[in-house]
Structure 1
Amino acid sequence: MGLFYQLDGKLLEEQYVGHLSGFRQWDQFGHAQDWILFPDNIGPYLSIDETSLSHGELYTVITNKEAKGKKGALVAMVKGVESEKVINVLSKIGGARRKKVKEVTLDLAATMERIARRCFPKARLVSDRFHVQQLASDAVQQIRIEYRWEAIERENQEIELAKETGNQYIPEVLTNGDSLKQLLARSRHLLFKDESKWTPSQQHRAEILFRLYPTLETAYELSRKLSHIFTSTKDKGVAFTRLAQWYNQVEIAGLKSFRTLARTIQNHYQTILNFFDNRATNASAESFNAKIKALRSQFRGVRGIPFFMFRLAKIYA
């Protein structure tokens, strides 16, 4: 606009922020650096999550699902993830209003659960199924990465031995054209996907991978079985039984990363099972976080966080 009307763009920006936008008269101007709150936007179904704005600074975001990511979606945004700080801000909303909240979706973080239980005492807490499934995928990838480092170390030893003996090192090539190190690196994406979605080349790579590393096949199968429980089970009681059976399979497999995952599920089993009541997830919160980051990218260097909070409130509060 400054170029179009032959004005000083920087001065125009300062005038807009300081006077034309109403930013200075905003009723939350004084504390916007640390938190903003919109009690009227609270609803029966909420999501709570964390998001990173600038330089890795974390903020806790509470959103109203019924607004579907549009006007009225933002209930509160608080700097940091310290539970007591967030609780103090949310406590500014009247207790009667907070008791009307029926359901809160959240991740597996203990701080988020503490916030939800203290601030919304009548609400059913639902652990996000995608966070649980992500942990299972991470457990598989951890095993793959460990094998990859072993393959890299073995290759280094073979190269050094070849140099000592005056021979040229020639890596072994598998039937799909991969070296062992490449096989483990290129298998990353197929291990995230269901077998039914593999391409022919991924199918071939998986056959070689699982033949050479049967432990990795066991881990992959455990991950997919857990995913299938969430996607195909409708009844909460049946889900409880299937999770117990999956837990027994983990014990038999004896994989450390999956035993840790099983303990995590056991510690959160009540809120995880609550998913099967309404199949509620935290997907709306993840979508809203993406919108926050997209908006933040437009306001880099424009009066910092307070003005960004002001614009965020104008759009979503």
Structure 2
Amino acid sequence: MFHLNSKQLEHQYVFYLSNFLSWEQREHATNWILFPQNIGTHLSIDETALSQGELYTVITNKAAKGKKGSLVAMIKGTDSEIVNDILKQIPVDARRKVKEVTLDMAASMEKIVRKSFTKADLVTDRFHVQKLAYDAVQEMRIAYRWEAIEQENKEMELARELGKSFVPYRLENGDTEKQLLARSRYLLFKNEHNWTPSQVHRAEILFNKYPALEKAYKLSRELAHIYQTSKLKGVAFTKLAQWYDKVEKAGFKSFRTVARTIQNHYLSILNFFDNRSTNASAESFNAKIKAFRNQFRGVRNVEFFLFRLANIYA
């Protein structure tokens, strides 16, 4: 409309109109940006990728609700020693005022919180714990699907040797075995009360054919039920212990791994039941960063990207 070259306009904006060149954090922005004034009593910590898989540790203030003032720190990498060295620049008194930090089960994140926010309670995000159980169910489903594919391959080879055309066996809903297992993926994530009529029918066939999968599905739903219904930490502890016993008796390898992981993080998992805090704010902030990144089809100038991110969220 104004006969301006877009690249020239972008250049003018970056280097003259935006105050980017006078940004006080520009020199070290590629490695870290820090905003001590945004620290609060309840924080979230997570990791995000900007471009080409480069990870950054992101610390946000829950009180800001993903708006201006929410970004506390963004530090390149996830090495706990490097991140803690940067966070030391925040006054000790401010860091000691942090009461609670939500995080996933990454060991590096736990080390960062324990060393930098010494007075804070660690709260393991409930959705990461539940996802482990869902993944364990899916692992069993996928193992059965590979077996079904292998069996079908053998039947096809046999039919070829006998000079017959191969006609796969179809179940009462019209699925073959491998289709049944492939199409059951989503229903195994959902509560059975939310299944559609076709999913109810498919689940009946699936669980009749693979009773172990039904048992695994029920274990995953029981874990979700503990999170949904337990209001007191003591009650949750008892229910988790009972769930752990059921997992041991079931004998599923993937679920034993889940149970051991919960056992290793049980203190921070139980802290959820104090305030029912989750890491959803951190995940939401990561989604905003990704959406911002996608708007510009990637991050070509990391410094300027972080400058704009700081203007909006810091």
* Fold-level similarity (TM above 0.5): yes
Measured in 1, the distance between the counterparts of 2:298 and 2:218 equals 48
CA displacement 1:111-159 (0-9 Å, x = unmatched)? 0000000000000110000000000000000000000000000000100
Task: Return the alpha-carbon distance in structure 2 between the equivalents of residues 290 and 228 of structure 1.
Answer: 27
Query: Are positions 1:110 and 2:104 aligned together?
Result: no
Partners of 1:254 and 1:144 lie apart in 2 by: 16
Query: Counterpart in 2 of 1:272?
Result: 269
Q: In structure 1, how many angstroms separate the alpha carbons of the residues matched to 2:78 and 2:165? A: 55
The aligned counterpart of 2:308 is 311
Q: Measure the CA separation in 2 of the matches of 1:236 and 1:178.
A: 45
Residue 216 (structure 1) aligns with: 213
Q: Could you tell which deviates more after superposition, 61-70 or 83-92?
A: 83-92
Deviates more, 1:118-127 or 1:12-21: 12-21
- What residue in structure 1 maps to residue 197 of structure 2? 200
Relative distance call for 1:155 and 1:191 in structure 2 (3 A) is same
- Residue 301 of structure 1 deviates from its aligned partner by 6.3
Q: Deviations over 1:168-195 (max 9, x none)?
A: 1100010111000100000000000011
CA offset digits 1:17-38 (Å, max 9, x no partner): 0111010100000011111100
Deviations 1:248-297 (A, max 9, x none): 00000000000000000000000000000000000011001000111112
Q: What's the offset of the Cα at 1:61?
A: 0.5
- Higher mean displacement: 136-145 or 84-93: 84-93
Pair 253,110 (structure 1): closer, same or farther in 2 beyond 3 Å: same
Specify the SS of the correspondent of 1:105: strand
SS at match of 2:277: coil
Structure 1 counterpart of 2:293: 296
SS at match of 2:21: helix
Q: 1:77-96 to 2 correspondence within 5 Å?
A: 77-96=74-93
The percentage of aligned residue pairs carrying the same residue is 68
2:230 is aligned with what amino acid?
T
Q: Quote the offset at 1:39 in angstroms.
A: 0.3
TM-score in terms of structure 1 length:
0.98
Q: Which string of whole-angstrom CA distances, capped at 9 and with x for unpartnered residues, describes residues 25-74 of structure 1? A: 00000011111100000000000001122122111100000000000000
| Cα displacement (A) at 1:79 | 1.0
Aligned equivalents of 1:55 and 1:154: distance in 2? 40
Structure-to-structure mapping, 1:1-317, within 5 angstroms: 4-300=1-297, 304-317=301-314
Query: How many Å separate the matches in 1 of 2:299 and 2:4?
Result: 18
Give 3-state SS (helix, strand or coil) of 1:191's partner: coil
8 Å CA contact retained: 1:236, 1:276: yes
AA matched with 1:191: L
User: How many angstroms apart in 2 are the aligned matches of 1:84 and 1:15?
Assistant: 39
1:230-258 deviation line (CA, Å, top 9, x unaligned): 01110100000000000000000000000
Is the 8 Å Cα contact of residues 107 and 131 (structure 1) preserved in structure 2? yes
Q: Give 1:298 shift.
A: 2.6
Provide the rounded CA distance (Å) in 2 between the counterparts of 1:245 and 1:223.
Answer: 13
SS of equivalent residue, structure 1 residue 270: helix
* Preserved CA contact (<8 Å) 2:57 2:78: yes
Equivalences, count: 314
- For residue 168 of structure 1, give the secondary structure of its aligned residue in structure 2: coil
Letter in 1 for 2:67: K
Aligned AA (1:9): S
Q: Which amino acid aligns with 2:278?
A: T
Matched letter for residue 159 of structure 2? A
Q: SS of the residue aligned with 2:58?
A: strand
Indicate conservation of the 8 Å contact 1:210/1:217, yes or no.
Answer: yes
User: Against the structure 1 CA distance between its residues 7 and 118, is the aligned structure 2 distance closer, same or farther, given a 3 Å change threshold?
Assistant: same
Cα distance in 2 between the residues matched to 1:301 and 1:174: 47
Using structure 2 for the length normalisation, give the TM-score: 0.99
CA contact (8 A) 1:37 1:76 kept: yes
- 1:7, distance to aligned residue in structure 2 (A): 1.4
Distance 2:170 2:300 in 1: 57
Aligned partners of 1:219 and 1:54: how far apart in 2?
A: 38
